[in-house]
Each structure stands twice: as C-alpha cells, then as structure tokens.
Structure 1
Amino acid sequence: MDTEKATSSHEVSQNLTRVGSEALEPENFEAGNQTSSPYPEGIRFWLITSGMCIALFLTNLEIPIVTTSLVAITDDLGGFDKAGWLISSYLLGYVGVVVIFAKLSDIFGRKPLFATAISFFVIASAACGAAQTIVQLIVFRAFQGIGGGGCFALGVTMITDLVPPQKWAAFGTNIAIVYAISLLAGPIMGGAISERTTWRWVFLINIPCGVPALLLIVFAIPPGFPRHNVPNNAPQTFRSFLVKDAYKRLDFPGGILLLLATLTLTAGFHEADSAFPWKSAYVITLLTASIILWITLILWERHVTLADGDREPVMPWVFLKSRTVLGLLLGSTFLGGTWFVGVFTLPQKFQLVHNTTALSAGIRTMPFTFAAPLGAAWASSVTGRYKVPVIFVLFISAALQILGFSLLATLPDTMNVPARMYGFQIIAGFGCGITISLPAVVMPFIVDAKHRAVGMGAVGQVRIMGGAIVLSIATSVFHSYTKPRLGAHYHVSTSRFGHETNPEEVRSIYAQGYNRQMIVLAAFAGAQVLAASLLWKKKQVTI
C-alpha cells in the first residue's frame, strides 16, 4: 500500500511538472482552457517591470561605478595592489550563481528567488559601505556579486514570463536599454560621488533604492508565478520541497561543478601575470583544475540529460549538442570581454593618460556607453520588425566592434584627448550594444520551453565570465608592456592609483599599454565572427 501511494505521488508530481511546462506555452491559454491571461496585466505588470528594472539597474551599476572610485577607495583603505579584486570579486560572485538561480526559480517560483537575490544584494551593499579594510571590502563585494547575479538571472528569465512571444524581442530590448543605461551612468556617478562625498555612498546608495524594488517584487508578483494560473498548481515551499522529494529535481552535483569550474577559470586568469606569473604553480594548478572540472561537468550533464530521470540538468546537454545554442553562448562570452573591458579601461585611460578627474573621465566615456542602448534598439527593430536573420546582425555587430577597437588602438599619446576618440567610442559601443540583448532574446525561440530559464541565464553567465577572463588577459597584456618599460619611473603605491608623478615618458608608456588592450578587444570582437558563423543554416534563424 505504501509503495502504491509513493508511486501515485510520484506520478502526480511528474504530471504537474509536465502540465506546468506545457501551461507556459501561449497556445495552451486559449479560451476555455484558462480563466485569465497567463501574463500580468495593467498595474501589476508595470509594478513587476518597475521592480525588475530597478534591481537590474542597481546590480549592473555596481560594475562600472566602482571603476571610477578605485582611487578614492584605495586612498582611504590602502591596498592599491589589490584594487583589481574589487572588480573581479564582484564578477566572480556574479558569474558563479546565474544559472543556479535560474534553475531554482523553475522549482520554487520566480518570486521567492528574486526577493532572496535583492535582499542579499542590499545587505551585502550595506556591508561594503561599512568595510574598514580593503580585504573586508573584497569579501563583501563577492557576496554582493552573488545577489547581483541572482537579480540578473531572474530579470532576464522573467522576460518570457511577462509578455507573449511576439513581444519578447521588443520587451527584451527595453530591458537591455535599462541595463546599458546603468553602465552609462556608473562611471559618471562613481566620479561624482568620489569627488563630492565619501566613496562609501557608491555602495550605500543601493539601500534606499533597493528596498523599493524588493517591496515591488514581493507584493506585485503572484504566488507561484509564472505557473500561478495552472489548475491545482500550489506554490512550492521549502517544506513541500523536502517532504515530497522535490529536491530530487535539483542537480546538486552539476551546480557544484559549474560553480567550481567557473571560479577556478576566472580566478586563474585574473591572477596570471598579476600576483603570480603565468608559469607559476598557482596559476597552472587553477587552470588545470578548471579544465578537469569543465570536462567533468560536461560528462555529468550528458549523463543526467540522457538518463531522463527526475533530476533536471543545470546545464542541459542539448545546449552543447546544438550548434546554434553553442554559437550564441560563445558569442556572448566574447562580447562580455569587449564590453566589460571597454567600460573598465576607458575611464582609467582618461585619468592616467589624459590627466582628467574621475567625474570628467566618466563623462568622456559616455559616447561608448550611450551608443550601446542605441545599438540594442536597432537590433530589435531589424530582427523583430523587418525579420533580418540574426546571423547577419551578429556579423554587423562584430564588424563594428573590430573597426571601433582597432581605431582606438591607433590613438596617439598626447595629453589632449583627440576628438576622433569619441567617434571611435561610438562605433565600438554601438557594435557591442547590438549583441547585448540579442542572444538572450533569440534563446527562447531555439530551445524547449523547459530549458528557457536556464538558457537565458546561461547567456548572462557566460557573458560575465567572458568579461572576467578577457579583463584578466587585457590586464596581463598591459602589465607585460608597461612594467619593463617604466623601470625607475614606476612606483606602485599601496594607496594611490599609479605613480607619484606623471612625466611625459611615463604617460606615453601607459598610453601604449592601453592601446595594446584595445588590440586584445579587437581580437575578441573577431572571435565573435567565428561564433556567429555557427548559426548558419539553410533557413536562417529569425525572431
């Protein structure tokens, strides 16, 4: 009898899971099947969207806002030699959890996971604002990144939950514009805060802004969303998760392998030629461990997918089998490098080479960051309204990035900012913007409904991972050029950004170092051409 009950319970659980996935398909919401629309409407839709946009704005703002605040932070806390970790620790925390949050939201629902992510982000931001040492700040930044990664995962995933398929492209582009505006505002806000008040407000500003986002998410999202309209679909709770054996759906080994593989890879590249030489045992061990972990993850996910049991793979094998999906993920990885390194490097170049203030550096970076949302809007228009195949739009994006970053690599080392630099920034930024939202918008059209959340989360995860890896490569190229040539001129302080003085020779060396970083970005833009080529079909992908 007990065995029969257990079997019956398992069948009911499987049926509800199947019905839940099918219920998310638009064709299953015809009249007579459901009593109301599966998508939030009216004021509820706008409240959810507002909360989501605020959360995405704040969590993405934390990437560039700190870039122009590094001088003020290290002047106060010391530890300039560890300043790079203030960026990398956030990215490492961010990149390690995106897919995991997306998968957990499939089981527990979007609402509790989104609320958890925002709460984590706000609390960690308060801790960052109260940090008394550079090491404390680095640790708190990693926790802040975990909250930020969760917010990004849920924000991107909910694009397909809030509007029907015919509106995915336009809605996704609007969300990408919010994302791009946050990166536009970050350097300016960071510079203004550093010059006018304490750097701690770079982090503390998230508290009064993040709490309203949390309240909107908690009170506006229906319980059980996005399956709130499915009959007899009670929201999953932690108790039912344990009692009903729903935890068996979680791919714990896959999640752990994904987290460790990502962290060892990004940490290895970050430390290479920075704290440790490339040939050091530390770097070699990290990178070797990462390769082993990635291979193990792939084999494990293949096993889980082919077993077709209760466990739901955190990175479905179908993603690696599909040439189209693989092309989108690789393209997003390379874009992460060109975009994030551009946002990180350009303000530094203005301060060190052209001797501008932090605020001025943020303003002068605006052509790059402002062009990105324009590129995203253009991509949405040509792919959604005019049905231009996605592959051709990706080719255009890569070509503009190659051109823009190559031109930026040719700039002279003059004290004055050449006027053409702003035009070159626009070309590169517009090219990056085209691909910011496109892979995430395309993903739901080429994967099964049950893999949408993980697929869209994976796009964000690999983009951040690419940013962390390419940032470390570009930094290594910069140091390998500048350190031997600076010689007696070079003086790294534990508190100040760079050197005690700024003679012409030193400034010229820095300028050439930054130009070489632009060459690195042009190369990764070229790699996007190869990634986009994987999307080639007789009948091209359109949205």
Structure 2
Amino acid sequence: MMAEASDTLKNLSHSSSKEGEPSVEAQFVEESAGATSREHESRQSYLKGFRLSLCLFLTNIEIPIVTTALVSITNDLGAFDRASWVISAYLLGYVSVLIIFSKLSDVFGRKLTLLAVVLIFAIFSGACGASQTIEQLIVFRAFQGVGGAGTNSLATVILIELVPSEKYAKYTSAVSLVYSLSLLLGPILGGAISQYATWRWIFLINVPSAVAAAVVLFLTIPNGFPYHGVPRHERPNGGHTLSRASLRRIDYIGTTLLLLSTLSIVAALEEAGLRFPWKSAYVITLLIIAGVGWTVFLLWERRVTLHAKVQEPVFPWRFVQSRVWVGMLLTVFFLGAPFFATNFQLPQRLQIVNGLSPTDAGVRVIPFTLAAPLGSVLAPIVCKVGKVPPIYLVIFAAVVQVIGFSLISTLPYSKTPIAAQYGYEIIAGFGCGINITLLILMTPFSVQARDKGAITQFRVMGGAIGLAIVTAVFNSLVRGQLGGQLSSAELNALLTSPATITTFPPDVQETIRVKFADGYALQAKVLAGLAAGQIPASLLMWQGKQIMV
C-alpha cells in the first residue's frame, strides 16, 4: 500500500506538471532547500550579531562601571575635583571619531578596521589601569574612548548590514538588551571591584575580554564583508579598498573643528568656578574659541556639502535643510545630557551625601539603570505591535523625563536615601530609555544610510556638554556656600578628596553633606531643563504622515 501510494503521488506530480516546468516533487525539494538555506543564513546572522553584541557590551559598560568607582578612583589619585573629566575624556574621544571610523571602514574594510579599534580599546584600557596620576588617566581615557567609539560605530554598522530594514525593530530590541545588561551590571561591578579589590581592575579586565573578542571576530567575519559574496571585479574600487580617492572622502578639517569646538566648551565649563573664575581669561578665551569654532565648522560643512565632489562632510548640510532631521538631532542632543550626567551624579550623591559604600551605591542606582533599558526594550514593541507612531512616544518620554528629574531635584538631605528616590529614578530612567531606542529606530527611515551614525554622535556630544554644564553648576554652588565656612586649604582638600569629610567635626560634616546635597539637587534641576528641551525639538519631527516602524 505504501509503495502504491508513493507511485500514485509520483504519477500525480508528473501529470500535473507542464512540459518544461519542475514537478511538484521537484518544487518541494527546491523550496525545502531554500528554506534550509534561509534558516542557516538566519542562524549565521544571529551568531554574528551575538559576537558583535559582545563588543557593544564592552564599550557600553565603560560609562556605568566607571561612574560608581569615580569616588574611589579620585580619592586614590587625589583629584575628585576633576572626576568629571574621567567621563568627559571618554565621551570626547567618542565624539571625535564616531563618524570617521565608519568612513575609514569603507576604505580599509569593515573587518580590519573593527579589529584595529577593538585592539586600541584593549591597549588603552590597560594604560588606564596602570595610570599613576589623574592627568595620565584622563589622556588614556580619551584614547580608550576612541577605541570604544570605533567599536560601537562599526559593530552597529555591521549589525545593520546583516539584516533587512523590516527586521530593524527586532534587532534594535536585541541590541537594547545588551545595552540593558551593561547599564544594569556596570554600577554593581564598578562598586564591587573598587570596594573589594582595586579600581584598576575596572580597566584591566577589558584587556583579555577585548583580545578574546578580537580573535573571535577575526575568525568569524568574512574577508571583504559586506561584499564577500560579490565578485571582486564588481566590488567598489574593483575590490581594492585602499585608494587615494577613498582617503580623500574623509573630512579631516571638519572632524578637527568639531573636536576643537566641543573640547573648548567642555574645558571652559569643567574648569569655570573651580580652578578659574568665570570672568578669567582662560574661561572667556575657551568660550570664544568654541563659538568661533562652531561657526567655522558649520560654514566649512556647508562648503564641503555643496562643492566637494569626493569628500563626505561630517555634518552634511542636508541635515540643516531637513526640519525632521534637525528635530531628531536636537532631541537626541538634549537626551544625552540627562542620561549621561545622571549615571555620573547619582552614585556620587549616594556615596558622598549618604555615606554609602561603592557597592551599596551601585545597587541603589539599579532603579535608574534598569528602568532605562526596560523603556528601550518596550518602546519598539509598543510601536510595532500597537502600530503607534514613534513620535508620540518620543514626546511622551520627554515629558516623563522632566517629571522624573524635577522630582529628583526635590530630594531632601538625609543620612539614608529615602524610599521615594528609587521611584523618581525609575521615572527618569524609563523616559530616557524610551528615547534612546526610538531615535535610533527612526533613523533608517529618516536619513541616508551613510548618516546613521550622527544620532549616536550627537547623543554623546550632548552628554559631554551636559556633564560639563552640571559640573560647573555644582562646583560654583558648593565652593560659594562652603567658601565662608572652611579655609581655602580645607576646601581644596575636600574637593580633591571627599574622604577627608570624616576628618571634620560632626557638625561640620553635617553642613558639608547638606551643601553637597544642595549641589546635586541643583544639578537635577538643570537636567530637568535640558530634558524639557526635547519637547520643542521633537515637535520639529512632526509630519503629515508620521514615521512607522
């Protein structure tokens, strides 16, 4: 019976096929083979995505893992007053090369460039761990940021090239999960390592991890990616990536002007009210350089965009000509400030004002670091499943941030954190997380593929400048309020190493902690104002037909 049924099926399949067409059986085999091939290709894409996500994890964890350990690091090096530079230097390194590396990968190839930046990250992580002075640490952190920026940029570009646009939402959620783990584990690991070992391991542990990641990438990423399946004569430049024409595409002058302008304004704000008065020649000169630099930068980018035949601008003038894209860049800029600054100031407040250990501080920051990735994961799902235009959630998230940071600014001084603080952290973090993911998710539907890196660059730039602003505000308030109660030597010693608080009489210790709490509350007010800047900026993104993902 089985044999007869088989023969009958074969006869039916042959009789139902027209001459010259494959039989039903042949079609079935062909479709099965195609399905198997697609399944294999999908598995390979997921595996490559997982390996690239490991690189993203290493670079993303560098901010939260260091912020919790900053008090320990600066106490050891005697430079708490320059603690923000340890974060700012990393962010500035990020800003300076984030876009450049994606263009360099067009010249030298994705694989070779990614391996190079991962190794740069490993080398300068080791240098950070070996630093003997705060100046050395700041310089090495900047170069570590260069490696981190390249790794983040290229891993993101390759992930985008691995999947079609209809799967962006799914992959964005997966990458958000990696980002979530880095935010969640970073403060805890940073606190635990600095408390039970030495803060140097925070950087040194990156060396074997990054080297292992480089080896895996070397073995798994095909040579010539993403053109590895294309005949060499059909690839760009005939398969020869390095050429004089390719190198001319890079906007070296624009990159230099961007870095100089950002560095000048960050340096002015970081040092104003601390080492130099606001009216000093140092601060005024840097602010003038920043203003002139930004002006020249914009004029240069306009010239390159309109007249250059080969060179690709860092900030294409088409950004200015698109209301939606201007709104997106401004929104992500105002998002970077509260997000990065909160990761910086919350652990400090918990350690200095509340007297918690680094580990305890890391644990109590979890509400913010968990709520942010939760918002990042849920937002694309709501947009995809509920058919909700992302712009609605972007505006909603900005309002939520304003509420959260405004509530944080009302926190009174107390020896132990009040329970309401954790709720405020959740509100602020959830709002930040929503917009971090949605603005990235909307990018492929708004701009050309070559412009995708601008979103991350502007968020990091906003973080660097925002961190400098809240640092200047904090320094001015604390110095002004404690200047009449402590001698100059005592105040300098306190701002150099907060551990010296315990050397003062109990009543003076109480006063110092109250003034520090006032400084952190003022910072939160500034962050609420910066978060509010996202609302009018996001309204610029409003369109007759909204972007759907």
Q: Pick the TM interval, shorter chain.
A: 0.7 to 0.9
Which residue of structure 1 lines up, in the alignment, with residue 220 of structure 2? 220
Match of 2:454, as an amino acid? A
1:115 to partner: Cα distance: 1.2
Partner residue, 1:22:
none
5+ residue gaps, structure 1, are 1-30
- CA distance 1:174–1:242, change in 2 (3 Å): closer
Partner Cα distance (1:442, 1:150) in 2: 22
Residues 95-136 of structure 1 show CA distances to partners (whole Å, capped at 9, x for unaligned) of 211111122223333222211111100010111112222222
Tell me, in whole angstroms, the C-alpha distance in 1 between the residues paired with 2:364 and 2:388. 33
C-alpha separation in 2, matches of 1:355 and 1:439? 37
> How does the TM-score come out when normalised to structure 1?
0.87
- Counterpart in the other structure of 1:3: none
User: C-alpha distance in 2, partners of 1:260/1:37?
Assistant: 50
State the Cα RMSD in Å. 2.5
CA distance in 1, matches of 2:221, 2:235: 12
- 2:380 corresponds in structure 1 to 380
Change (3 A) 1:108 1:485: same
2:517 aligned partner:
511
Residue 313 of structure 2 is matched in structure 1 by 313
Q: 2:212 corresponds to which letter in structure 1?
A: P
1: CA distance between counterparts of 2:295 and 2:276? 25
Partner letter of residue 131 of structure 1? S
Contact 1:121–1:146 (8 Å) recurs in 2 = yes
The 8 Å contact of residues 402 and 532 in structure 2, kept in 1 or not, is answered as: yes
Partner of 1:531: 537
Does 2:482 align with 1:483?
Answer: no
The answer to whether the Cα contact below 8 Å between 1:191 and 1:362 also exists between their aligned partners in 2 is yes
Aligned to 1:520: 526
Q: Name the aligned partner's letter for residue 505 of structure 1.
A: T
Q: What's the TM-score once normalised by structure 2's chain length? A: 0.86
Distance 1:263 1:41, change over 3 A: farther
Deviations 1:482-509 (A, max 9, x none): 2222233463328622643362222112
Identity of paired residues, percent? 47
1:388-403 to 2 correspondences below 5 Å: 388-403=388-403
Distance 2:501 2:103 in 1: 49
| Residues 100 and 250, structure 2, Cα contact 8 Å, conserved in 1 | no
Q: Which amino acid aligns with 1:219?
A: L
Q: What's the CA shift for 1:379?
A: 1.1
Cα deviation 1:350-377 (Å, max 9, x = unaligned): 1111111110000000000100111011
- Give the distance between the partners of 1:236 and 1:276, measured in 2 at CA: 52
Give unmatched runs, 5+ long, in structure 2. 1-30
Match of 2:118 in 1: 118
Post-superposition offset of 1:141: 1.1
425-434 or 303-312: which moved more?
303-312
Report the CA distance shift for 1:456/1:484 in structure 2 as closer, same or farther (over 3 A). same
Shift of the 499–253 alpha-carbon distance from structure 1 to 2, 3 Å rule, reads same
Counterpart residue number, 1:23: none
- CA shift for structure 1 position 56: 1.4
Describe the shift of the 1:495–1:475 C-alpha distance in structure 2 as closer, same or farther (beyond 3 A). Answer: closer
> Which residue does 2:409 correspond to in 1?
409
- The separation in 1 between residues aligned to 2:233 and 2:460, in whole angstroms, is 35
Deviation of the 1:265 alpha carbon: 3.0
In the other structure, the counterpart of 1:456 is: 452
Contact preservation (8 Å) 2:84, 2:467? no
Alignment partner, residue 193 of structure 2? 193
Aligned residues of 1:335 and 1:435 also touching (Cα < 8 A) = yes
Task: Give the letter for the 2:288 counterpart.
Answer: T
| 1:226-265 alignment, distance < 5 Å | 226-232=226-232, 240=240, 245-265=245-265
Contact persistence 2:92–2:259 (CA under 8 A): no
Q: Who wins on radius of gyration, i.e. which is larger? A: 2
Aligned length: 505
Matches within 5 A, 1:331-480: 331-449=331-449, 451=450, 455-480=451-476
- Are 1:127 and 1:140, in contact at CA under 8 Å, matched by a contact in 2? yes
Deviations 1:312-354 (A, max 9, x none): 2232211121111111111111111010111111111111111
Letter in 1 for 2:501: E
Conserved in 1, the CA contact under 8 Å of 2:395 and 2:535?
yes
* Separation of aligned partners in 1, 2:165 and 2:409: 41
2: CA distance between counterparts of 1:283 and 1:495?
21
Maintained 8 Å contact 1:375/1:431: yes
SS in 1 for 2:319: helix
Cα shift at 1:413 = 0.9
Q: Deviations over 1:36-77 (max 9, x none)?
A: 999993553234222321221111211122222223323433
Question: 1:86 corresponds to which residue?
Answer: 86
Counterpart AA for 1:318: R
